[in-house]
Chain A
């Protein structure tokens, strides 16, 4: 392994440096949203370019500071971090979600209080997510999750005068702290079983039955702690209240960004270097060692059932919602179920499908929340029924929102369709292996759920296009200006999301091939 250089952490350094600049600007009294927002967007953009060029796309050669020999080489038995190509893909995904939110937030009133704190915390939360993607040590992973956690609790409450936001922050904080306590308890049991928290040591198996039981209970606590972050049913109840009560731009970041951090942690725990599937006792007599019990089938079955439960509960509750933000929040819970399908199957194509689903979800969900935030600034909402006539009065905005919702529903020619197609076909492919026909039903459940979800997305479209506008709401700005009331930044973010969804929906090849090769590497490092 090459000697460690700080330049390996260039993307993280951009984010930390910008966060410090924003906090310092706040201290000297520069709090204009244009100034701090420009610094933040610039830093996120630079970090994103650096990550993309590290992945080998090379738009800006000099930003590629990570030697190719370091990527996918794995960590040592004492190293805290390792660079995997899937981790880099996730870093890109995290940065994209931060970019969308940072851009859109530029359009908030420029005299609004707390702009610098919002942007500083956004950068710190993104930094924590970036660190999760390179973790090679359990404690490192959990503290990195906590970096994001602390920043996001405060982001939810940053409006300070808004009691709903503060209550959501409080709820989020309690659940977050509970999840932290459970995860660290699990990590401490794993430390007791293995004498280390390094992923490499953890993947090498155990000596005896007692340690093995200890490790299993440790994994159970760790998984429950992380399940809160992924909003897996039955640990999802907090998410809807928090997404609903938080400022909508923050909801976009929570649903589109930080939740994906939990998904990546699940990848580590179930598929990659930290795989629970290696935590089995190895009883040795002489030079012959046997693993007494392989619990891969039971883990896969449990995960599959949880995936189906998460999709179904999320979709059915989304059907019942009358408020736009709560509907999107439940739909976000159900999307976590689709990602769990990939984790349950655990093959490289399924992992690629789940990653593509995560990638698509950033644009679809964050984009949809950003539209809702913009529309509510125009005086529309929070009820779905109040969106009537939006499509007639604001044709461009209506088309953008419609495309985002259609992609969430998985309609062809959108990225949401591509990701579901890759995921479900991986499930069908995996089910042809003898003894794994169960996976076929995962694909069927996923398809049925997609069909259910079309209902509630179509209901929004019907309200937007088929019902007459409410004359009391002055939706149309001056003289047909498509950005009226939205501002430049939010318009740019929405355009970015829509272009990504349609463009990559028609021609997904560059992203798909990068994700597929990263997923193949990642599966190879696991069990």
Chain B
């Protein structure tokens, strides 16, 4: 027999979201923060794709469309984040969020 189990997918996406949040809250290196954010957003993309696959009617295709759009949005965000990193890097030669900070906590 063949087939996939819906519950396992939600388990995977919950785990990925958890890893992403863990990274955002504990890592201080900006590149690692970008990666953690990407992991969290990928959890959302995964949700859209499998909910579209398991949908009962043909309306589920809009879930795949949403996944396409979110992938594009996440790529845009990475580009903007890197632009900020590069500008800051030129300023002071470190991209560590906590260390580089002259803002008060």
Q: Please give the residue numbers on chain A whose beta carbons come within 8 Å of chain B beta carbons, in ascending order.
A: 139, 143, 146, 150, 153-154, 157, 160-161, 163-164, 166-171, 173-174, 177-178, 180-182, 184-185, 187-189, 191-192, 195-197, 241, 244-245
Contact = CB atoms under 8 A, between A and B. Distances in A.
Interface string B1-44: 00000000000010001001100100000100100010011011
A167 B100 contact: yes
Contacts of A164: 102-103
B37 A170 contact: no
Contacts of A180: 41, 73, 77
B47 A189 contact: yes
Between A143, A161, A185, A241, the greatest number of chain B beta carbons within 10 A of the residue's beta carbon is seen for: A185
18 contacts: A163-B102, A164-B103, A166-B84, A167-B102, A170-B88, A170-B97, A173-B81, A174-B24, A174-B97, A178-B21, A178-B37, A180-B73, A184-B41, A184-B44, A185-B44, A188-B44, A191-B47, A191-B62
A154 to B, nearest CB: 7
B76 A150 contact: yes
Interface residues of B, number: 45
A189 to B, nearest CB: 6
A187 B10 CA distance: 14
A337 B87 CA distance: 35
- A interface SS class: helix
A167 B83 CA distance: 12
B88 A191 contact: no
B81 A185 contact: no
A181 B77 CA distance: 11
B103 A150 contact: no
Contacts of A182: 40
B51 A192 contact: yes
A173 B84 contact: yes
B51 A177 contact: no
B103 to A, nearest CB: 5
A389 B6 CA distance: 68
A389 B20 CA distance: 51
Given A154-B83, A191-B47, A241-B103, 8 more contacts: A150-B76, A163-B102, A170-B88, A184-B44, A187-B66, A195-B59, A196-B59, A196-B62
Contacts of B105: 241
A16 B77 CA distance: 21
A14 B24 CA distance: 38
Contact of B43 (A173, A185, A191): A185
B79 to A, nearest CB: 9
A139 B55 CA distance: 18
Nearest to B49: A188
A195 B102 contact: no
B60 A195 contact: yes
Given A171-B103, A184-B41, A196-B59, A166 B87 contact: yes
Nearest to A138: B66
Contact of A167 (B17, B41, B56, B101): B101
A81 B44 CA distance: 23
Contact of B47 (A178, A188, A241): A188
Contacts of B97: 170-171, 174
Nearest to B42: A181
A174 B33 contact: yes
B103 A168 contact: yes
A185 B101 contact: no
A143 B80 CA distance: 15
A181 B87 contact: no
A334 B92 CA distance: 35
A146 B63 contact: no
Contacts of B100: 163, 167
B41 A143 contact: no
B32 to A, nearest CB: 11
Contacts of A192: 47, 51
Contacts of B24: 174, 178
A153 to B, nearest CB: 6
A466 to B, nearest CB: 28
Between B45, B56, B92, B101, the greatest number of chain A beta carbons within 10 A of the residue's beta carbon is seen for: B101
Contacts of A167: 88, 100-103
B104 A197 contact: no
Contact of A181 (B37, B56, B104): B37
Contacts of A181: 17, 20, 37, 40-41, 43-44
A163 B60 CA distance: 46
A143 B73 contact: yes
Given A241-B104, A245-B103, A184 B84 contact: no
Given A153-B80, A163-B102, A174-B24, A191 B33 contact: no
B80 A150 contact: yes
B37 A191 contact: no
A188 B21 CA distance: 17
A225 to B, nearest CB: 10
A73 to B, nearest CB: 23
Interface string B54-74: 011101101100100110010
Contacts of A173: 80-81, 84
A247 to B, nearest CB: 14
